[in-house]
Amino acid sequence: MKEFKPYRRKAYYYETDRMDIVHHSNYIRWLEEARIDLMEQAGCPFELTEKQGIVSPVLSVSAEYKYPVRFGDEFEVKCRLLSFNGCRFELEYEINNITTGQLSCIARTTHCFTGTDLRPVRMQKKFPELYENLREALEDNEE
């Protein structure tokens, strides 16, 4: 079983608002950073997929904010692949403030694989190696 490491960094000053907390829109950016990191760990780095003409647009995002992250706080994003059907996939996230020890946000995103023309791509047929990497990542999360 492959273990995926959480994405980790500190909150930057420019990400905060006048209340000295990270603006809610930046959590969505962090989800994307964590997704890119997870895909790389799963053997599907964006550099490779985009070179092959594959993009993965966002279909939906939902986020529930629990406790704020402030400038300088260290946080981690645990990202987990929930589903993958060969074209569409869903991810689940948990953002934890390491500095305070509090859960900051839970979220989900849904994506699909398309060509640059935004037509769906069946990964198993067109890119079997990348398909297998994602299928294995899903199985690892189910164990």
Which residues does the annotation mark as catalytic? 17
C-alpha closest to that of 143 among 44, 37, 3, 5? 3
List of E strands, 31-143: 54-55, 58-65, 74-84, 88-97, 102-112, 114-115
9, 75 in Cβ contact below 8 A?
Answer: yes
Task: Provide the residue count of the chain.
Answer: 143
Report CA 85 to chain centroid distance, whole Å: 17
Q: What is the Cα–Cα distance from 89 to 114, expressed in whole angstroms?
A: 12
Q: What is the Cα–Cα distance from 136 to 105, expressed in whole angstroms?
A: 27
